Amino acid sequence: MSQQLFWNNKFSKVDYFYGTKPNEFLASKLELIKHKKTLLCLGEGEGRNAIFFAQNGLEVSAIDASDIGLKKLDRKSKEENLNIKTFCMDLNHWEAKEKYDVIVASYLHMFKDEREELFKKIEDSLSKDAYFIGEFFSTKQLEFNSGGPKDLDLLYTIEDFLNHFNSCEKNITEEIAVLDEGIGHQGEACVIRVVIQKV
């Protein structure tokens, strides 16, 4: 099944599968990035993070494989009078042509063998002093029932990040968090939280 079919199926079930509030960890970093200008959301789905950061004055672009998710984002951004650029594509087809001050992601479901290329593109797309901030499901998430893939190949370890982003300073932790994100993520979860800055 293609990424688009998989996510369109999920996003057509309810109005907002992961709710409309931004990911709590990403939102908590607003103070860190409030003086930045351009922000890219990867695997942005129905747009909850993109809307939040645009409301807070950043110039936001968003990529997702799901046209259904991005239509919801476009509709909500018009309602809020926000200008968010959207690009419908599988992240494996994304080309790192532009530089951003901030790149964010919450729960990117990328297979292990796809990550090296993706992480390189993220690193190449960061301006000097720019941030990559993300929250990802740990391999230990298999012990929890709060959401996320049940395929070990789609889950992350701290080493996945430590072994990449060589031009960056890295702050990477594994934590237990309590998720409250629509019907998709509910309850205790084991997550990896990443704040990476290009130097």
CATH code for the domain of 122: 3.40.50.150
**198 has pLDDT over 80:** yes
69 in Cβ contact with 11 (< 8 Å):
yes
Residue type at 131 in one-letter notation? Y
Model pLDDT, residue 9:
87
Q: How many CB atoms lie within 10 A of CB 57?
A: 13
The pLDDT of residue 7 is: 87
Domain containing 63: what range? Answer: 3-198
Q: pLDDT value at position 6?
A: 86
* pTM for the structure as a whole: 0.96
Helix (H) or strand (E) holding 32: helix 30-33
pLDDT confidence tier of residue 159, bands split at 50, 70 and 90: very high
Q: How confident is the model at residue 11 (pLDDT cuts 50, 70, 90)?
A: confident
pLDDT band for 175, please (50, 70, 90 cuts): very high
Q: State the total domains in the chain.
A: 1
For residue 66, count CB atoms less than 10 angstroms from its CB and return exposed for 0-12, middle for 13-18, buried for 19 or more.
buried
pLDDT for residue 188: 98
Burial 5-32 (b: 16+ CB within 10 A, else e): eebeebbeeeebbbbeebbebbeebeee
pLDDT score recorded for residue 192: 98
| Interatomic CA distance for residues 91 and 82, integer angstroms | 24
Identity of the amino acid at 35: H
Quote the pLDDT of residue 1: 73
Q: How far apart are CA 57 and CA 36, in angstroms?
A: 9
